Structure 1
Amino acid sequence: MGIKLLLGSDYHGNDRLIRQALDHLPQVDAYINCGDFCSKAGKPSCKATQGFHPTAQAEVAQLQSFLAAVDSLGKPWLFLPGNHDPAASVLEPLAGSWGRAITQSCCFEWLGLQVLAVPWTPPWGWSWTLTRSHLQELLTLYGQPPRPIDLLLSHAPPRGLLDEGGKWYHRRMPTLRPLVDHLQPRYYICGHMHWDGGKVERCGSTLVINTALHNMVLEIP
């Protein structure tokens, strides 16, 4: 028997995508959301004392309600923040009986799969910024020797793969492409780049899935 995953990303508060995800969940085994559920919560502000931009109270409440609804369905779930999402202090309390928000890079077994989850996004001037030190730490921890990874989860795609032709990634910007090339996970699941949302692309032994603005079902043998 395989595993059927529902994948979503970049809802940005869209009621249709939220309802669609909740409608699909009873038909799958588990759910992964790759971030940017919110739109303004990750915007920088000197007044963001609650872990999100002060104008984002309603969308943070919507995220809390959505993850509680997902948890109530009794399906394992994971949420990775995107650059538009609130800080770890807001996300960590959202853990439920069946899932959690990922706020630190981590490798773990989930549903019999080896998962590497990275909650950092190439620099956009908002939240959850990927730095070169993050990238080097990941390569050091998981690359010597390379660990077998089934799912590599991140908000943003690696450079050159479903990244809208790289127009947002300048040459010196750190992305997870070196980690992908080194580990060659079975699946790389992401969002972030809206125009490439809903598409898949193969890179060697890795199938890259950009689920931005979509809910997509992945069946893993």
Structure 2
Amino acid sequence: MALRVLAVADIHGHRSLLRLIQQEVTRHTPDVTVVAGDLTNYGDAAEIQRVLDAIPGRVLAIPGNLDLRRAFEAGIAKSHAESLVGKQIGIQGVRVAGLFDQLSACEILVLHEPPVGLLDDVGRGRHIGFPEHFRALDRLRPAVLLCGHCHESPGVVTYGGTTVVNCTLGSGGHGALVELDGDLVAARLL
């Protein structure tokens, strides 16, 4: 049985983007929605909770560079969502891990920033990805890497055997739909 994931990033607390996510959940009926960071712009725990609780169904999330770590931890603890910080969560036999705290193998790795040079171009050849993310990809070899951060470069590319998905909502995108069925991965922007 395939696992269907709605992947989004860079909500930045915008209610219009939360309505968009709600529509995509209704349209695609994912098994889980994964939020790859930047839920808010330095929002407090109550705002983190508001954002997460506005997303229907099962939700997994990590903080982004604009999410205060303590606010994220307090807000997600009060929400219906689950944190991927420092842990791995299994869904239908697929292991989903977030950030670098999780060092064991997984099928889906969730990081806020893309690796440098992959879906991270902000224009004029300027790249804002992280070089150390290649080490994580090379070590863990996930089937899928979900990321955001770079609003200007949503997309789907392949690095080695990993499908890299920048699922940002920051550029008018609608996130991405990712389906895993055994060794098969299908990913597309919405």
TM class by shorter-chain length? 0.7 to 0.9
Q: Tell me how far 1:117 sits from its aligned partner.
A: 1.0
Is 1:158–1:175's contact at 8 Å kept on the other side of the alignment? yes
- Whichever residue aligns with residue 94 of structure 1, its letter is I
Among all aligned residue pairs of Structure 1 and Structure 2, give the percentage whose two residues are the same amino acid.
Answer: 28
Q: Distance in 2 between matches of 1:116 and 1:207?
A: 15
Rg larger in structure: 1
Relative to the length of structure 1, the TM-score reads 0.68
Q: Tell me how far 1:99 sits from its aligned partner.
A: 2.8
Residue number in structure 1 paired with 2:140: 183
Change (3 A) 1:216 1:96: farther
Residue number in structure 2 paired with 1:48: none
Is 2:39–2:51's contact at 8 Å kept on the other side of the alignment? no
Residue number in structure 1 paired with 2:178: 218
The residue correspondences of 1:121-200 to structure 2 (distance < 5 A) are 141-142=103-104, 147=105, 149-164=106-121, 167-168=127-128, 175-197=132-154, 199-200=155-156
The C-alpha deviation readout for 1:170-212, integer Å capped at 9, x for no partner, is xxx7521111022221000000111112x00001210000011
The residue correspondences of 1:13-162 to structure 2 (distance < 5 A) are 13-26=13-26, 27-39=29-41, 41=42, 56=43, 61-70=46-55, 73=56, 75-95=57-77, 99-102=81-84, 104-118=85-99, 141-142=103-104, 147=105, 149-162=106-119
Change (3 A) 1:107 1:174: same
Find the residue that maps to 2:109 and give its secondary structure: strand
Q: Tell me how far 1:90 sits from its aligned partner.
A: 4.4
Which runs of 5 or more structure 1 residues have no equivalent in the other structure? Answer: 42-55, 121-133
Return structure 1 stretches of 4+ with deviation > 6 angstroms.
none
RMSD: 2.5
Is 1:117–1:152's contact at 8 Å kept on the other side of the alignment? yes
Which runs of 5 or more structure 2 residues have no equivalent in the other structure? Answer: 182-190
Q: Distance in 2 between matches of 1:4 and 1:82?
A: 23
Residue number in structure 2 paired with 1:128: none
Larger helix percent: 1
Q: Distance in 1 between matches of 2:52 and 2:35?
A: 10
Relative to the length of structure 2, the TM-score reads 0.78
The C-alpha deviation readout for 1:85-124, integer Å capped at 9, x for no partner, is 122354345236853133x322332332112211x6xxxx
Q: Distance in 2 between matches of 1:185 and 1:67?
A: 25
Is 1:159–1:166's contact at 8 Å kept on the other side of the alignment? no
Is 1:160–1:166's contact at 8 Å kept on the other side of the alignment? no
Larger strand percent: 2
